[in-house]
A and B are shown apart, each in its own frame.
Chain A
Amino acid sequence: MIRSFKGYGFIILFIILLTFSSSIVLADTYTKQRIYDFANLLTSEEIERLESMAQKYSTRRDTDFVILTTDHTEGKDIVEYMEDFYDDKALGYDKPHGNTAILTIDMNNRDVYLAGFYKGEEYLDDYRLDLIQDKITPDLSNGDFYKAFRKFIKTSYKYMGIRPGVDPDNILFKLGFQITTSLIVAGIVVGSMAYNTGGRVTVYDGTYRDFSNSRILNRRDTYLRTSVTKHKKPSNKNRSGGSGGSGISRGGGMTRGGHSHSGSRGKF
């Protein structure tokens, strides 16, 4: 038991070392802009912090986490605006027009659009982007943009660690659930061990029964009536489920430069 504890400790240590070393190696190579705050929603200090955070998480997932804000979309729709921006700036972690997850805010129309390109598209399908959007929309509505952007980067990063097609909100993936379950299991096992130290009852209901004389003498199962109730099927038009991630899906699209992406659109 104690050995497995130690083993787990080693795994954690290993991961910490790994992440530190990778960020140290790549930290000073060059700085790349990932926060484009054209709408001036953030202070320069906040931009600084988001940049370093985006940098850190981008290297771990080989995908750039980009924030784009604007208050005039040059007459374009938010999706088109974002697509052109991607084409123009040649965003991407691995190469120009490469792996990207981008959050676009249009302050004029109070539109929000989340998109993923390449690896970003594969791991952040429409369903997952919908989930992320649900998480950040309250903060956006409150005007707490810094918090919403941090949440976008963190959650996208987390979801990209989960195999495509798997529901990232699965309760099994939640640390709180894992800890609670572990404690409950241990409590039940140790509790029953303590309870049983005094010896268990090992007789069951058949121990003293005389099988030759114990039987049903008479039985009757009479049908009385039938009642039927009906209710409408719950509609699932709003969400398509976590099966997306391949090809062009509902929320995504294709840029003029021919780069396909996933997407989730909303208002705040």
Chain B
Amino acid sequence: MATALILTGVGFFLEVINLVIHYKCPNCGADMAFNAETGKLSCHSCGREDDIENFPDEFIKAHFSEDEAKEYHCKNCGAILITETETTATTCSFCGAGVVLADRLSGKMAPSKVIPFAISKEEAMKAFKKWCRNGRLTPKGFMTADRIKNITGIYVPFWLYDLNSRVQVNAICTKVRTYTRGDYIYTETRYYDVYRDINLDYLKVPVDASEKMNDELMDKLEPYNYQELKDFKTPYLAGYIAEKYNYDEKELLPRAKAKIENYINAYINSTITGYSSVNYKDKRIDTINTHAYYTLLPVWMVYYDYDKSEHTFAMNGQTGKVVGKPPISFGKVVAWFGGIAGATFVALKIIALLMGGGLL
């Protein structure tokens, strides 16, 4: 609550004042950061853990930097924070304290929801190494995962769209029956005029709103478990990097519509059953955006140097799902191909033998 109040207050000063929020431990005064394992704000020094919903107001140190050139000062050590314009949370490169650049998260830029990290850095590292070992086509040298250059926890901005689609379709469908009378085979085709009026609601369809992030990679990270979707509070960001959106909800609406198009078609097909053929004459799909939530979703980015090139992987910070193209070993592809072809051939031979065929 306290944080939210500060944020709304800050909107007023937006033009002139840049705000850095930093969390001090009420016990010992050390820096606090969000702990993915407990879901609380925790102090590395004394081990104190605080609920984010009830974190006392007076220990959130808001620092107003009076610089117009968008320069931020770390509240902890006073160093200048050099950030990209998209960054909304980072760690101070001098003292390591997790800081949130609150003015970039206020007003129109204020996220409404967040899914906190559920996987800590160590767990992410372990899960990534395990994933590397399971790669059936990845080269041996890659599987050891000993050249991970960097692993970064990022809150990636997403728009979650609530979409309502009204669908009206007209189709000519047929039912075909064949039967035999005497020396003739009869094919009877019955034609039907089929109409469906469908209401479809899709809730919280995520679309990545960051320019930097690869859309394909981000789409594959889905699904997130929305039960953990929380109202946005800045302490969740402490200790992580966060970005603000580059595209607003209107700009990304076409991408959200494109994402659900196949779902809609699958639903339409599932409502027309029992026919031999379906020929759509008319299909009207009206999709409107009923709500869009600006949401920060947790992603671990893993940068891995292998064979003189950098490979980028992303891990769902909530579920641990890993996506990204690992290198492919030619030798392993050949081995798998040969093995499967050989096994299939033997299996076919056995089937032929069982059916009474000759071996040669």
Partner-B contacts on A (CB < 8 A):
1-2, 4-5, 7-8, 15, 158, 161-166, 168, 170, 172-173, 178-179, 181-183, 185-187, 189-190, 193-194, 197-203, 205-210, 213-233
Contact = CB atoms under 8 A, between A and B. Distances in A.
B339 A208 contact: no
Given A4-B343, A205-B266, A166 B184 contact: no
Given A186-B340, A201-B219, A219-B271, A208 B193 contact: no
Given A199-B324, A224-B193, A185 B341 contact: yes
B333 A194 contact: yes
Contacts of A202: 222-223, 321
Interface of B: 135-138, 172-173, 180, 183-205, 219-220, 222-223, 260, 262-263, 266-267, 271, 321-326, 328, 333, 335-346, 348-349, 351-352, 355-360
A210 B359 CA distance: 57
Given A197-B325, A228-B186, A172 B337 contact: no
Contacts of B271: 216, 219
Contacts, number: 210
A185 B263 contact: no
Task: Classify the interface of chain B: helix, strand, loop or mixed.
Answer: mixed
Contact of A190 (B184, B188, B321, B333): B333
A228 B185 CA distance: 10
A190 B337 contact: yes
B258 to A, nearest CB: 14
A190 B199 contact: no
Nearest to A234: B185
A245 to B, nearest CB: 12
A170 B260 CA distance: 46
A222 B193 contact: yes
A220 B199 contact: no
Task: Classify the interface of chain A: helix, strand, loop or mixed.
Answer: mixed
A219 B195 contact: yes
A190 B180 CA distance: 46
B184 A1 contact: no
Contacts of B192: 221-224
A206 B325 CA distance: 27
B352 A208 contact: no
Given A162-B357, A208-B263, A1 B202 contact: no
B341 A183 contact: yes
Given A178-B349, A220-B195, A158 B358 contact: yes
Contacts of A223: 190-192
Contact of B323 (A4, A190, A199): A199
Contacts of A205: 262-263, 266-267
Contact of B263 (A7, A194, A209): A209
B316 to A, nearest CB: 10
B60 to A, nearest CB: 35
Contacts of B220: 198-201
A230 B185 contact: yes
Given A203-B222, A208-B263, 10 more contacts: A8-B345, A181-B344, A197-B135, A214-B199, A216-B196, A219-B196, A220-B196, A227-B188, A230-B187, A233-B183
Nearest to B186: A230
A172 B344 contact: no
A206 B204 CA distance: 12
Contact of A166 (B197, B344, B345, B357): B357
Given A194-B137, A194-B333, A226-B189, A217 B202 contact: no
Contacts of B190: 223-226
A203 B358 CA distance: 47
A32 to B, nearest CB: 24
B260 A208 contact: yes
Given A203-B223, A205-B263, A220-B193, A215 B356 contact: no
Given A198-B323, A208-B204, A220-B193, A214 B267 contact: yes
A180 to B, nearest CB: 10
Given A178-B348, A199-B321, A224-B192, A233 B356 contact: no
Nearest to B328: A194
Contacts of A189: 336, 340
A145 to B, nearest CB: 26
Contact of B351 (A8, A172, A190): A172
